[in-house]
Structure 1
Amino acid sequence: MLINTIYLRQFLATNTACLILVVCACWVAWPSSVNRKLNKAYDDVDHIGLRLDESQITWVVSLLDLGNAVSPFFSSFIINRIGRKNTLLLVSLFFLPTWLMVWDSSSLTYIYVARFLIGVSKGLAFTAVPVYISEIADHKIRGMLGSTTHTFMTLGLLFSLCVGPYISYQSLNIIFSVIPLLFLALFVLMPETPYYYIMKEDYEAAEKSLKWFKPYEKNVKESLAKLVESHKDMDTGASYWALFSQSNTRRPLMIVTGVSFFQRLSGITALVAYSSVTLPQLSFTSWFGPNECVIAFTLSMTITNFLFAPFMDTLGRKILLCTSVFCGIIIMTLTSAYYYVYPVPTNSYKDLIPYVLVVAYGITYLGMGNVPPLLPSEYFTTSQRSYASAVTSVALATGSFITSKFYLIVQKDCGSYFAFVIFALVHVVYLLFASTFVRETKGKTFEEIQAKFYKKENVAGELNNTQL
């Protein structure tokens, strides 16, 4: 991914901040790596001593999403209170004891509690990282830098899926505990965002931060004055109540919540967590199977995102999202048709069909993966962003919880084909929603987005002080 050298510091800070998302992704993919190691239907080759049934495994998977759904309700307070940077540093410290709880597999309760607590940490990270990136990024590259969150998530998934199935349960958990320490050592060197300092009326610190992130600014004091003026004019009265009660914020809140909820309800969580037990075993090869397909799926997402992320700032958010969802409709429909015709493995090359479709879904996931996390930071003001991002995290977690908790139940009672019929229908609703409501924001400053977004609602010709 090529980037102009004048934006190098923004690029460096963005990539460092996103390291915490690698930890989150490792936890998301952790069940896929250890399902067979913990499942009582398989031998305890790692001598873990704990064997789980199907119901317990679904709780191990879904408790992370439950914790994720809880944390955003207080994460916005933490982000605005101690800052975006300090919140992420706090998250890195919070990750460490949870790994130790999972490493000690003597009790299922430890694993349950650890999964819930890591979900809380994930919610904090997913609320703070997009806000941090949007507040340090120049409007010309904000889309590309925003897509970095998805790239690092896929890198974390890829690392977990490549390493997890092939090493012992204990070794996997020890390796993963190192990543939060690496993040802590690097991110402590990065500055806080200028927007946070402006919100706290520490204008001297805001100027230093602005100079660090944007050394190409010819007149930093003038740029800072514009940001301060914009904040005073538009950025008052932020709260959860204001988001839901103000007519100017209800619509953008509905949009960011909808695109996030449908993203996770469309099946991505189930593909990552359960592909190892959904895909047919290939009878004609011993070196490629469900685990390797999940790796190929994640690798396809990573490569596609790395190569085509700049299109976020050229083609735009809306067209990429709608194209991605449309491709998802086709792929989920074909996958459902396959499992309807072949409910059991055919022990032939036909069993490769769902493998190809899963990888194809990873290639076309660019829009669905990148756009939802980016919109809250573009649609809302400085102090509102943390609240909107928190609500978005709840929507993401709720969609993930529903799919991770009920996918195996639907698959067992109704068949795999029916689960993918549901996913295809969700994609149809997703496309209708995105094409109707999502507003384009490529290449625009926050002020320009505001003027466009609320143009129709602004009868008096002046923006309400709670608008973006």
Structure 2
Amino acid sequence: MACGGHLGWTSPALPHLTGPDSEFPVTKAEGAWVASLYTLGGILASFISGFCVDRLGRKFSLLAFALPQLAGWGLVIAAKSVVTLYIARFVAGIGHGGIYNVAVIYLGEIADKNIRGALGTFLKMSTNLGTLFVTAVGAYLPYWQLNLVSMVVPLTFVATFVFMPETPYFFLIKGRDEEAEQSLMKLRRVNKPESVREDITAMKDAVIEGQRSSRNAIFELVGTKGNRRALVILLGLKATQQFSGHMAIVAYTQEIFSHSGSSLAPSQAVIVLGGAQLVAGFVAAGLVDRAGRRPLMLVSGIAAALALAIEGLFFYLKYEAEVDVSSFTWLPIVALIAYEVMVALGIGTLPYVLLGELFPTNVKGPAVACGIIVGSIFAFAVGLGYQAINSVAGIHTTFWIFAICCASGTIFVFWLTPETKGKTLEEIQAELNPPAKVVPGA
């Protein structure tokens, strides 16, 4: 939620900052940097989190990365110039990248295989909830109060998460088997150690197998066939997710809605959009462990691409063909809501589920860090390039580019991704790394 708050903050904040009531002037170009620098902070966090996650542990790394998020809000509140906003967004982005890096590992390691997919979707759903919270507050409160209220979310996280357990996998990596047992008992809500010993043994075998290689984790990531396949899937997921324009659409939602000419105020349309995202998130949580990852990914990606193409068509008719669109100003709002719903059902949610599932414990840290780094670079390029492409080729072209990227990326990833529904992390690794066939007489 804290991450979603920072992501969605630009939607109500940029119209104020670039408007006449701002305490200091912010141009459109500067606004694009304010929106995009948040994703660059995530790149730095990915290097830091790889170090933290196996030293501090998953739990305390999450608590540590909440501090830059709090610092970001403090700087936003104190900002008297656009440079301070740049710093605030970059610092908050460090927290975002770190939290996502560690959270996908944490969730993947604490969840039972039957609910792991549903729990993974909550990562995106809670991000959407944070975005909805900030945009709703921004619709009815002035800018300075928006910033103060937004700070409550990361504060609440720090106050509550300190009581959560560390993952059993981390304790096993450190050779603290008894604490791993206690952690799993707490997570499973059981009192007898023998009820979790079979699972602890399977987890320990997976950890030992992962640690058996003497190679550096980075070399292990690219040197093993199954890990390479998982890495290609991961990078394809991040490319599809970001080049579908999600970062730009979240950052400029109110501005995009203002182009429609609808009688529904952009600030209110954003709240409707956020509500639809939440509903879709709950649907995704219910479907991901029933329908599976692959079907959801294909349906959501193709449907999202269609919604983006319709969005682009509306803006083409309005600005290029100069057609009277007053009778269907509702279309871009409906299309954008449909896009966000479809993203929440699959391509925006499942990458975080699969991030925690596809990699063995010994390379999970660098693998997730690699995904966040690449995703952050893509998101930065999309966020900064959105305004530039609009100026050069028109907003309709921007949406058509997003649609093409979304459709082609979805098909590519669907073709490569194995179904992980109902499988333990150990079973997934066995599928990605099948034993070599023995040739008779060799």
- TM-score bracket for this pair, using the shorter chain length: over 0.9
Match of 1:355 among 333, 353, 357: 333
Q: Does 2:417 match 1:405?
A: no
Counting only pairs closer than 5 Å after superposition, residues 3-18 of structure 1 correspond to structure 2 as none
Displacement after TM superposition at 1:313 (Å) = 0.6
Q: Does 2:229 match 1:251?
A: yes
Displacement after TM superposition at 1:255 (Å) = 0.6
Q: Does 2:167 match 1:193?
A: yes
- What is the aligned partner in structure 1 of residue 347 from structure 2? 368
Q: Does the CA-based 8 Å contact 2:312-2:397 persist in structure 1?
A: yes
| Structure 2 Cα separation of the partners of residues 420 and 133 of structure 1 | 33
Q: Give deviations 1:179-215, integer Å, cap 9, x for gaps.
A: 2221111111111000000001111111110111123
Question: Secondary structure of 1:342's match?
Answer: helix
| Amino acid in structure 2 at the alignment position of 1:276 | Q
- What is the aligned partner in structure 1 of residue 20 from structure 2? 43
Does the C-alpha gap of structure 1 residues 223 and 163 become closer, same or farther in structure 2, counting only changes over 3 Å? Answer: same
Q: Does 2:92 match 1:138?
A: no
- What is the aligned partner in structure 2 of residue 384 from structure 1? 363
Q: Give deviations 1:143-189, integer Å, cap 9, x for gaps.
A: 01111101101100100111113212211111112222211111111
| Structure 1 Cα separation of the partners of residues 298 and 403 of structure 2 | 14
List runs of 5+ in structure 1 lacking aligned partners.
1-21, 462-468
Q: Give deviations 1:441-464, integer Å, cap 9, x for gaps.
A: 000011211222223x73359xxx
| Structure 1 Cα separation of the partners of residues 385 and 265 of structure 2 | 24
Counting only pairs closer than 5 Å after superposition, residues 44-443 of structure 1 correspond to structure 2 as 44=21, 48-216=22-190, 219-237=195-213, 239-280=217-258, 285=263, 288-343=264-319, 346=324, 348-365=326-343, 366-443=345-422
| Structure 2 Cα separation of the partners of residues 276 and 84 of structure 1 | 36
Displacement after TM superposition at 1:71 (Å) = 1.6
Displacement after TM superposition at 1:414 (Å) = 0.8
Does the C-alpha gap of structure 1 residues 283 and 259 become closer, same or farther in structure 2, counting only changes over 3 Å? Answer: closer
- What is the aligned partner in structure 1 of residue 423 from structure 2? 444
| Structure 1 Cα separation of the partners of residues 424 and 261 of structure 2 | 55
| Amino acid in structure 2 at the alignment position of 1:438 | T
Does the C-alpha gap of structure 1 residues 234 and 96 become closer, same or farther in structure 2, counting only changes over 3 Å? Answer: closer
Q: Between Structure 1 and Structure 2, how many residues are aligned?
A: 432
Displacement after TM superposition at 1:429 (Å) = 1.6
Q: Using structure 2 for the length normalisation, give the TM-score.
A: 0.93
| Structure 2 Cα separation of the partners of residues 161 and 176 of structure 1 | 10
Question: Is the deviation greater in 199-208 or in 326-335?
Answer: 326-335
Does the C-alpha gap of structure 1 residues 236 and 408 become closer, same or farther in structure 2, counting only changes over 3 Å? Answer: farther
Displacement after TM superposition at 1:74 (Å) = 2.4
Does the C-alpha gap of structure 1 residues 347 and 29 become closer, same or farther in structure 2, counting only changes over 3 Å? Answer: same
| Structure 2 Cα separation of the partners of residues 91 and 460 of structure 1 | 48
Q: Using structure 1 for the length normalisation, give the TM-score.
A: 0.88
| Structure 2 Cα separation of the partners of residues 201 and 341 of structure 1 | 64
Displacement after TM superposition at 1:95 (Å) = 2.1
| Structure 2 Cα separation of the partners of residues 428 and 223 of structure 1 | 40
Question: Secondary structure of 2:413's match?
Answer: helix
Question: Is the deviation greater in 132-141 or in 288-297?
Answer: 288-297
| Structure 2 Cα separation of the partners of residues 335 and 181 of structure 1 | 38
| Amino acid in structure 1 at the alignment position of 2:81 | S
List runs of 5+ in structure 2 lacking aligned partners.
none
Q: Does the CA-based 8 Å contact 1:284-1:347 persist in structure 2?
A: no
Question: Secondary structure of 1:43's match?
Answer: coil
Does the C-alpha gap of structure 1 residues 409 and 283 become closer, same or farther in structure 2, counting only changes over 3 Å? Answer: closer
| Structure 2 Cα separation of the partners of residues 163 and 101 of structure 1 | 19
| Amino acid in structure 2 at the alignment position of 1:368 | I
| Structure 2 Cα separation of the partners of residues 291 and 174 of structure 1 | 19
| Structure 2 Cα separation of the partners of residues 141 and 284 of structure 1 | 41
Displacement after TM superposition at 1:226 (Å) = 2.5
Question: Secondary structure of 2:347's match?
Answer: helix
| Structure 2 Cα separation of the partners of residues 427 and 177 of structure 1 | 33
Does the C-alpha gap of structure 1 residues 51 and 188 become closer, same or farther in structure 2, counting only changes over 3 Å? Answer: same
Q: Does the CA-based 8 Å contact 2:136-2:271 persist in structure 1?
A: yes
Q: Give deviations 1:421-445, integer Å, cap 9, x for gaps.
A: 1011101221221221111100001
| Structure 2 Cα separation of the partners of residues 74 and 458 of structure 1 | 36
| Structure 2 Cα separation of the partners of residues 236 and 373 of structure 1 | 27
| Amino acid in structure 2 at the alignment position of 1:108 | V
Q: Does the CA-based 8 Å contact 1:281-1:345 persist in structure 2?
A: no
- Quote the RMSD (CA, aligned, Å): 1.9
Does the C-alpha gap of structure 1 residues 284 and 156 become closer, same or farther in structure 2, counting only changes over 3 Å? Answer: closer
Displacement after TM superposition at 1:356 (Å) = 1.0
Quick one: percent identity of the two aligned structures?
30
